[in-house]
A and B are shown apart, each in its own frame.
Chain A
Amino acid sequence: MKIKADTGRCIGAGMCVLTLPQVFDQSEDDGTVVVLDAEPSADVAPAVNRAVQLCPSGALSVEE
């Protein structure tokens, strides 16, 4: 899977970081999403999908 993040849409709610801190982080500057690992291993796929689903601004998407 490949994670795509649209920092223009991101509102810095932090739901992705809360869900999966080893894959997502927030910029110190404006709190927007920083993807630490854009192609994480399959075992975290359910958590990635949950982060995508919880994202309030629709800034995250996943390509299989």
Chain B
Amino acid sequence: MTEATPRLATYPLTRERAFDPPDELARRRAEAPIQRMTYADGHEGWLVTGYAEARAILADNRFSTRPELLHSPIPQRGEFRSEPLTPGFFLRMDAPAHTRYRRLLTGQFTVRRMKQLEPRIQEITESRLDAMEREGAPADLVESFALPIPSLVICELLGVPYEDREKFQRDSAVLLNLNSSIEDIRAAVQNLYSYLHGLVTMKAKEPADDILSGLVAGGELTTEEIGGVALLLLIAGHETTANMLGLGTFALLTNPDQLAVVRDDPAAVENAVEELLRYLSIVHIGPTRTALEDVEVGGALIRAGESVTLSIGAANRDPERFEGGDALDVTRSAHGHLSFGHGIHQCLGQQLARIEMRIAYPALLRRFPNLRLAVPAREVPLRSNMAIYGVHRLPVLW
């Protein structure tokens, strides 16, 4: 018998290949889907790379998401647990506190409501494609397509002026940059929060037909809480889908047979989007949870107070759940992937994200059937330094 692999010290972030999670995570999964990992502060916690184990933990309310209980799996974010929680930032709350905020919003993000947005999302998509055509090749697909579509949509939904995007896109990039200092993060949160808080105050005087005005009119949350809700939804609403569109297009361009399916077969698009979500798993790190009591998962006893970091990417490639999961296969049934999470924190905006992707990928590929990379694939700058993975830029020609 070979000697056991030494315990992993902090979570690996370096990806050997553009579309695959770090190799170390696959090695660890083959060895033990749940195993000990040493955290940045020396805490002896856990790393979960197996699908069944990750899903079980996400569904289990004995695991908390509260920041003051979490140990950081990477050195860069060690000081976070002492930061006060922004009011209304319900991603970092447990039930029942979380439930109260989520319930006020779920009615706005139902499958039906999101379907009603289809014509508007199509219109936005076509206008971005028109602009690309007008301006001519080459273009950075992130700047001209992948970012503006979800950004415009979430701005309209929330009632945030898109013209203000420079104010919030810069700060939101600082928040997601894993190398940002705690001071930079504090300043970015402060900027974003005071901008959104001001906007919410204005909505009280001049309400419009948007989610923030609706929350103000509902009267159940304070202006401070609505500011925090806005902060969460604004960041979550455009960074995530934007990176799926950028990285997903890159993946399709390097897999031309799969690209042809998405371009030519409307009936295949729904499945293809789920597979791209599974295969690319853009949540680059975590989530991390902390056990509130002793819990047994996959034969491991996690003690109260111990942190558990999941790798969504490794779980979504677990051969026990997705056969041949290291390959992109847009015809496979990828349902059940964990890219939107699982349990009570599963992505609120997932039905919106699905519709945006189902519209945007085929529209892009049909408008520019000759779409191709303008630089060698290895020169595409990857977001290995960001909490949400993707491409910084995607230079394309058509």
Contacts and interface: CB of A to CB of B under 8 A. Distances in A.
Interface of A: 11-15, 17-19, 21, 25-32, 50, 53-54, 56-58
The secondary-structure label for the interface of chain A is loop
Contact of B351 (A18, A32, A58): A18
Interface of B: 58-59, 99, 102-112, 335-336, 340-344, 346-348, 350-351, 354
A14 B335 contact: no
B379 to A, nearest CB: 38
Contacts of A12: 102-103, 106-107, 109-110
Contacts of B354: 18
A3 to B, nearest CB: 17
8 contacts: A11-B346, A18-B354, A26-B112, A28-B107, A56-B58, A56-B341, A56-B343, A57-B59
A26 B112 CA distance: 8
* Leading 9 A-B pairs by shortest Cβ distance: A12-B106, A31-B106, A56-B346, A26-B110, A17-B111, A14-B111, A31-B107, A31-B110, A13-B346
A13 B103 CA distance: 11
Given A50-B335, A54-B335, A56-B341, A13 B107 contact: no
A26 to B, nearest CB: 4
A42 B368 CA distance: 45
A13 B109 CA distance: 8
A56 B110 CA distance: 15
B351 A11 contact: no
Contacts of B102: 11-12
Contact of B344 (A15, A21, A32, A57): A57
A12 to B, nearest CB: 3
Contacts of A11: 99, 102, 106, 344, 346
A57 B55 CA distance: 11
A39 to B, nearest CB: 22
Most B CB atoms within 10 A — which of A26, A31, A50?
A: A31
Given A13-B350, A14-B351, A56 B106 contact: no
The secondary-structure label for the interface of chain B is helix
A26 B111 contact: yes
A10 to B, nearest CB: 8
A5 to B, nearest CB: 14
Given A54-B336, A56-B342, 16 more contacts: A11-B102, A11-B106, A12-B103, A12-B106, A13-B106, A13-B347, A14-B110, A26-B107, A28-B110, A30-B104, A30-B106, A31-B103, A31-B107, A31-B109, A54-B335, A57-B59
B351 A30 contact: no
A13 B340 CA distance: 10
Contacts of B109: 12, 14, 31
Nearest to A26: B110
A20 B106 CA distance: 19
B354 to A, nearest CB: 8
A27 B108 CA distance: 10
B77 to A, nearest CB: 26
Nearest to A50: B335
A56 B59 contact: yes
Nearest to B347: A13
Nearest to A18: B111
A53 B237 CA distance: 26
A58 B336 contact: no
A12 B110 CA distance: 7
Contacts of B340: 13
Contact of B59 (A15, A19, A26, A58): A58
